[in-house]
Amino acid sequence: MTTVEDLPAGANDARGRVAELHAIREQVRRGPSERATEAQRAKGKLTARERIELLLDEDSFNEVEPLRRHRATGFGLEAKKPYTDGVITGWGTVHGRTVFVYAHDFRIFGGALGEAHATKIHKIMDMAIQAGAPLVSLNDGAGARIQEGVSALAGYGGIFQRNTKASGVIPQISVMLGPCAGGAAYSPALTDFVFMVRETSQMFITGPDVVRAVTGEEITQNGLGGADVHAETSGVCHFAYDDEQTCLEEVRYLLSLLPANNRENPPAVPCEDPADRSGDALLDLVPADGNRPYDMRKVIEEIVDDGEYLEVHERWATNIICALSRFDGKVVGTIANQPQSLAGVLDIEASEKAARFVQMCDAFNIPIVTLLDVPGFLPGVDQEHGGIIRHGAKLLYAYCNATVPRISIVLRKAYGGAYIVMDSQSIGADLTYAWPTNEIAVMGAEGAANVIFRKQIAEADDSEAMRTRMVKEYKSELMHPYYAAERGLVDDVIDPADTRRTLIRALDMLRTKHADLPARKHGNPPQ
Ligand SMILES: CCC(=O)SCCNC(=O)CCNC(=O)[C@H](O)C(C)(C)COP(=O)(O)OP(=O)(O)OC[C@H]1O[C@@H](n2cnc3c(N)ncnc32)[C@H](O)[C@@H]1OP(=O)(O)O
């Protein structure tokens, strides 16, 4: 590695100094060694600089502290003091808007975080918060740098504290691009979105070796914390892709849907898709029979601009859909029950997924549209013992607390607590609509009749005939589509074909909505 001491004698005039600067810069740009770069490529991974280039607009990157080196001693560190100290930090633009970025360089100490490395990240995080611009971390690091002991741990503490301070102020996106252990996994968990790449990225608190030593379990890195595990099972990761290029392209797309900070609105774009386009296909997409499944994604495609949306947590808690899209060019978050997965029931994971999404939308001034077709909360011992009460309460709390424009539409059934939770008028939705196929009730007619007419059914000569009669009676009394509208509990019953038009007009009216919550330090949400 070139150092100032290595430069030729006589390089002391201005030109010499500039040549020296360029030599050092070239050294910084190349990174530690060709061998380390080849090892990175052999694992199917790009280098930190290549990733930054893919993330940012061409030639927009401005590096901060490229010449930083650690001052740690012991364990041979004195002899190993690479520029950057294993993390590249700076800012650039994505679609012309400022974004701050830091990228671990796995080639240097496995991307592990030491004191200097940490203070570089702290600086860029502080700058992002002060500038009110998103922060993207490109993670490929082994956690705390073991040789630097408590200094490394303290460095992570500073990152966690800043992640938390920035939460709800600027969008924070974590992109996992290698094996990320310990703090390199905790910090992303504090951010708004986590992206992963299949096969090459993993997240775990302790790696397979420690797992084997402590529990005796044999597991691979991917089996323990690969992209599919976190996208489908744990819910830690929001988006998973097959390669780094696609992953970084999708990060750019997500950024195009988010505001720079909590004081701004997400960027609007001109819209060619007519605001009053009729959704004639909708009636056929949703079977009138409440027990028949269908794909709610098709409904979303039909009503949003150009059928385009970005689904968050696509493969986790698939019984609920959370998606970002545009209506008439303006960004909206949609939460919808998915009848083709677990009949669209609300369970622990669905509640957690939707609650986080509602909070994110509320923090970043993204109006919320809720599409209901929900049979209720999932009954069962596992759910009760797993804490469905407090997890379901998270979703309730998130909606009740949200001050962004909120519109809900009951497509088909909406029963019991799940109806209330999914942004009913009673918990503060600004406007609520129903299709004529709606059934809003405490529970389905069969269940209702079994409870309230139990005695009559039991005592009847023909119990089944009595049950059928009572179900019919309950349906005609209480489950007709106009029951809620007559009581002012939905604002209107609309033709499904008018859904897009109705939403766009309502969203337009609500654009200037202003609602304050009582002054308080913060709430105490269920956990
Ligand atoms: C906030 C609290 C915390 O962060 S505690 C977490 C501490 N970190 C860990 O326990 C992770 C330890 N490392 C590992 O498990 C593996 O290195 C992982 C991350 C899975 C990567 O494995 P693999 O792809 O096979 O790479 P490797 O082991 O050959 O490592 C590459 C080079 O990086 C180094 N390295 C690794 N981890 C650290 C670390 N924590 N501190 C300092 N250096 C680390 C390795 O020694 C290796 O260096 P070299 O290339 O041989 O010079």
Atom from ligand 1 closest to the CA of residue 206: 10
110 annotated active-site: no
What's residue 8's pLDDT?
55
The verdict on the CB of residue 239 being under 6 Å from ligand 1 is: no
Q: Does the CB atom of residue 32 touch ligand 1 within 6 A? A: no
Question: What percent of the chain has pLDDT above 70?
Answer: 98
110 ligand 1 Cβ < 6 A: yes
Residue 144: CB within 6 Å of ligand 1?
yes
Ligand 1 midpoint to CA 109 (Å): 7
Residue with the nearest Cα to atom 28 of ligand 1? 110
pLDDT along the chain (527 residues), means of 10: 53 87 94 94 97 98 97 93 97 98 97 97 98 98 93 97 98 97 94 98 93 95 97 98 98 98 98 97 93 97 98 98 98 98 98 98 98 96 97 98 98 94 97 93 87 91 92 86 92 97 98 94 95
Examine the residue annotation and report whether 350 is marked as an active-site residue of this protein.
Answer: no
Is the CB–ligand 1 distance for residue 207 below 6 Å?
yes
Alpha carbon of 110 to ligand 1 centroid (Å): 5
Is residue 100 within 6 Å of ligand 1 at its C-beta?
no
Q: Is 181 in the pocket of ligand 1 (CB under 6 A)?
A: yes
Q: What is the pLDDT of residue 5?
A: 54
From the candidates 417, 428, 447, 460, which is the catalytic residue? 417
Residue closest by Cα to atom 22 of ligand 1: 179
- Nearest by Cα to 289 from 173, 412, 419, 117: 412
- What's 67's DSSP letter? T
Q: Does residue 182 line the site of ligand 1, with CB under 6 A?
A: yes
Helix (H), strand (E), coil (C) string for 76-128: CHHHCCCHHHHEEEEEEEECCEEEEEEEECCCCHHHCECHHHHHHHHHHHHHH
145 lines ligand 1 (CB under 6 A): yes
> What is the pLDDT at residue 346?
98
Give the C-alpha separation, 140 to 27, whole Å.
Answer: 21
For 216-343, where are the alpha helices, taking DSSP H only?
221-225, 227-228, 244-256, 282-285, 296-303
Number of the ligand 1 atom closest to the C-alpha atom of 141: 19
User: Residue 477 has what pLDDT?
Assistant: 84
| Residue 321 and residue 265 in contact, taking contact as beta carbons nearer than 8 Å | no
Atom of ligand 1 nearest to the CA of 208: 15
Report the atom number in ligand 1 closest to the C-alpha of 113. 41
Catalytic, out of 141, 178, 183, 416 = 183
What is the distance in A from the centroid of ligand 1 to the CA of 224?
16
CA torsion, ordered 120, 123, 128, 130, to nearest 10 deg: 180
Q: Is 323 a catalytic residue?
A: no
Which ligand 1 atom sits closest to the C-alpha of 209? 15
CA of 112 to the centre of ligand 1 (A): 7
Which residues lie closer than 8 Å to 389 by C-beta, 6 or more apart?
none
Instruction: Count the neighbouring beta carbons within 10 Å of the beta carbon of residue 21.
Output: 11
The finding on whether 106 has its CB within 6 A of some atom of ligand 1 is no
Residue-level pLDDT at 7:
54
pLDDT, tens only, 432-456: 999 998 889 888 888 888 899 999 9
Residue at 454: amino acid letter: R
Q: Is 417 a catalytic residue?
A: yes
- Of all protein residues, the one whose alpha carbon is nearest to atom 19 of ligand 1 is 142
176 CB under 6 A from ligand 1?
Answer: no
Is ligand 1 within 6 A of the CB of residue 114?
no
* The predicted structure's pLDDT at residue 378: 96
- Would the CB of 205 count as within 6 Å of ligand 1? no
Atom of ligand 1 nearest to the CA of 202: 20
Backbone angles phi, psi at 302, to 5 degrees: -70, -30
**Catalytic pick among 110, 182, 225, 392:** 182
**What is the number of the ligand 1 atom nearest to the C-alpha of 207?**
15
Q: Is 285 in the pocket of ligand 1 (CB under 6 A)?
A: no
What's residue 462's pLDDT? 93
CA of 111 to the centre of ligand 1 (A): 8
Confidence (pLDDT) at 9: 52
Ligand 1 midpoint to CA 74 (Å) = 17
* Cβ–Cβ < 8 Å for 205, 162: no
Counting every residue written for the chain, the total comes to: 527
What tokens appear for 407 in the block? 């519109």
Residue 207 CA to ligand 1 center (angstroms) comes to: 10
> How remote is the CA of residue 201 from the centroid of ligand 1, in Å?
14
Longest C-alpha distance within the chain, in Å? 112
Provide the pLDDT for residue 3.
Answer: 53
Contact 374, 413 (CB under 8 A): yes
